[in-house]
Chains A and B, each alone.
Chain A
Amino acid sequence: MKRLWFLIPLGAFLALAIVLAVGLKRDPREVPSPLIDKPAPKFALARLDDAAKTVRLDDLKGKVFILNVWASWCVACREEHPILLDFAKKRVVPVYGLNYKDTRADASAWLARFGNPYDASFFDEDGRVGLDFGVYGVPETFVVDGNGVIRMKHIGPITPEVLTNKIEPLLKKLDA
């Protein structure tokens, strides 16, 4: 027993090495959102395509939906755009866009050029609604359930893997 004492520093070192290795693998840019499993922040925004029409969070409630935060100035949004277009074509759930800190002209031109996957886009000119959603880097994608509770948040562009491994299983679980 006493002979094994020398193993203690070795064990402590291994434990520390494992903790640090796990820490290295994690992406410090992915900040866990405190909004998960909390009611989505209330908002009232004009539609991108129609400044006269205001959409409120309550109008969207009752159905699971995806809210994708995007902007015409955001390069990574272009990367995820074809994937989002494909997903929207399947018509699993409504996909809404939160047009973050953009101009109407730029955003509309962008959609005309690359295609419009959104059932509707909401125009968040000063980014206040984005702040309420804890947005800090576009694109970000939220899954909101029928009760208006945020169930998932993905930071960064949606990849096919994110879609099949994270979003679609969750939608199935939510019975959308």
Chain B
Amino acid sequence: MKITALRSVLGGCLLAMSLSLLAKEAAPEAADPALEARMVKITSELRCLVCQNQTIADSNASLAVDLRREARALIKQGKSDAEVVDYMTARYGDFVLYRPPLRTTTLLLWFGPALMLVGGAAVLVIVLRRRSRMAADAFDADDELGDEPGAVDAALASANAGTPGPA
């Protein structure tokens, strides 16, 4: 009996605590959280022009604050996400887009890395194939040694003498 009373008191305390915690979290950051979330989603894909490595959503530069305000206003007017982005690119160009659009001028940007990878792989394959076709004795000795007959053997012998082998 005593234990159940204690339990209920404890439970009540916990419940009260959790309720107060919830209340704190529920404090609205903006008048319309759904609108705010959409605005943040759009502007976090856009580059702030003043501090160029921050998004418009992140930046506290006054330009970013203004552009967030405009984005909010456009959303309120019922514009689509694409229309909000168009508003930004019409004024500041494709530069504001963190994901550059696919255009003839950006083909190299999009496919350059893949092209380099394919090119590198092709060179690697060609070189490896040519090597495997060569006979083992096709490799030349180092230039400084290869000029004199017997120099390689001598060098190997002295190297072996210096470091005792396993045999």
Residue ranges of A at the interface with B (Cβ–Cβ < 8 Å): 28-29, 31-35, 101, 126-128, 131-134, 136-137
Contact = CB atoms under 8 A, between A and B. Distances in A.
Q: Give the interface SS of chain A, mostly helix, strand, loop or mixed.
A: loop
A101 B65 CA distance: 13
A34 B94 CA distance: 8
Which of B66, B89, B94 has the most chain A CB atoms inside 10 A of its CB? B66
Which of A126, A128, A136, A137 has the most chain B CB atoms inside 10 A of its CB? A136
12 contacts: A31-B92, A31-B95, A32-B93, A32-B95, A33-B92, A33-B93, A34-B91, A34-B94, A131-B91, A134-B92, A136-B92, A137-B49
List the 4 closest pairs (A to B, CB-CB), nearest first.
Answer: A136-B49, A134-B91, A34-B93, A31-B95
Interface residues of B, number: 15
B3 interface: no
Contact of A29 (B52, B70, B91): B52
Interface of B: 49-50, 52, 62-63, 66-67, 70, 89-95
Contacts of A34: 89-94
Contacts of A28: 52
Contacts of B70: 128, 131
A35 B95 CA distance: 13
Contacts of A127: 62, 66
Nearest to B65: A127
Contacts of A35: 91
B93 A132 contact: no
Contacts of B52: 28-29
Contact of B50 (A32, A128, A134, A137): A137
A126 B50 CA distance: 17
A131 B62 CA distance: 12
Nearest to B89: A34
B91 A132 contact: yes
A119 to B, nearest CB: 25
